[in-house]
Structure 1
Amino acid sequence: MKGVTKIMDLNNDYNNKASLRVRRTREFNNFINKLYMLKYYFDNGGEEIPYSKDYFEKHLFFITMHFKSGIYSAKNSSSIYNSKPLFDGFKLWFLMLVENALGKRAGQSIKHQPLTMAYLDVEGTAWGNAAEVFQTPHLHAVMLLHPKKRDEFASYLESDEALKFRETFVSKIDVIPFTDDGRGIAPVLTYAAKYARNQMANQRFDWLFEAYPSVSEFSYPFYKKLKTLSNGLSETL
């Protein structure tokens, strides 16, 4: 969970101030909203700038990776659940996306790779309730494209190759461009994280969410700069 490690340092600033109940809802929601706003600032000069509806509608995407029924099912709502293979599958798709958008030397342009948070979800959790038996796990992800490589990534995200990624365990991938309904990016971020957020205190899961690129903070400039950016952010977020 290399990408998550640095990001969770930021989240800990909130957790230390909140009760367990609040941490799972308002504070975690604040954390992910702040994360994407920081990336928005970072990609556009590093200074705090006003929220831009047009920018996020052009650069933000909501992704759902569906898995074949029964492959990663759980016996019931309390059995220990190994969710890591789902995230490994998403990482394969993410790396394919990066290579197609940036070419064979994608590692040399790692700063242009999109910040992406992926979260575990299961059928029957639209309101954050645990399912009694979940046979169809899936991942929700929110991807923010870098402005200098937006067209390359957006073009591939809409291609048949990306949408029909056919590992043996993946059944379908949905990619939906973000549309602001007047409430900003918060609703799509909190929706994607709803199940993972509510299960953070549940010891049955080994993996609830992951950040991509899944690399150390020394490899991805945004991770390296994250704490500095956070300290300079206004308290209004």
Structure 2
Amino acid sequence: MAKRHSIIILLFVIIASAVVFVHSLSLKQPCTVRICQNKDCRSRYPSTAAAGETLARTFRDLVAPSGLSQVAVEASECLGQCGRGPNVAVNCNGNGGGRDKMYYGVVDPQTAAAILEVSCDYDPPPMLLAAADVMARAGKATSPSKKVSLLTSAVDALSGDSTLSSASAVARALVLRADARMDADPTDTGGEALGDAQRAAELGPSYGKAWRTLADAREAGGDFSGAVEAVRRWAEAEPSLARKAKGEVERLIARM
């Protein structure tokens, strides 16, 4: 009798452990946030809200490196309801099953942050949301020096936090600062824009805009072969722009 009782207890422990293990696996599955890439939705996202970037980029910039296992941001084909865009679909069922939670008219970082908090149970770090706001203000600034000043505050704040120094938002702020610096000095005399662009590409090797900006900075400094390499990396990161990148490569080669 005692032996049977021990076996029952052992079976119960095994089953309970299996349930906990399966549950833990489901918790590790990230919420998938899909951003409509239809032309209508993309055009409805105000460039000033993200300093010329896309809604998908805004969502990525709100996720800290530690949150990448919790939230996955993906581009999506048309999600319907085009007249109500930009549109976002969120699925937190792990395997993509079940129905998506739809959000319409997402036009600013604050709304994106609220979606992450409510649907993904992920609360973006306040510093990332503040950086998004600073980048939006930089996008509205008319003076390159003002843009550089604003973006420097974001870069310095994020870089000074060990948990956020490699965040997607740092790469974007660096790219925007590099662009502003080249607006102020098209030849990039001091090489500051080049430094920003190189660091951005290192932080975000799949970030196409970083490679595009690095190509511009290298060209400004007379490094045409380096610019060609950067354009090719840009095309790898953004295959839809391959034809445009090919034209850029041909133009740069002609300048060598």
Tell me the TM-score normalized by structure 1.
0.27
Which structure's residues are more often helix, by fraction? Answer: 2
- Under a length normalisation based on structure 2, what TM-score does the superposition of the two structures give? 0.26
Q: Which has the higher contact order (CA 8 A, sep 6+)?
A: 1
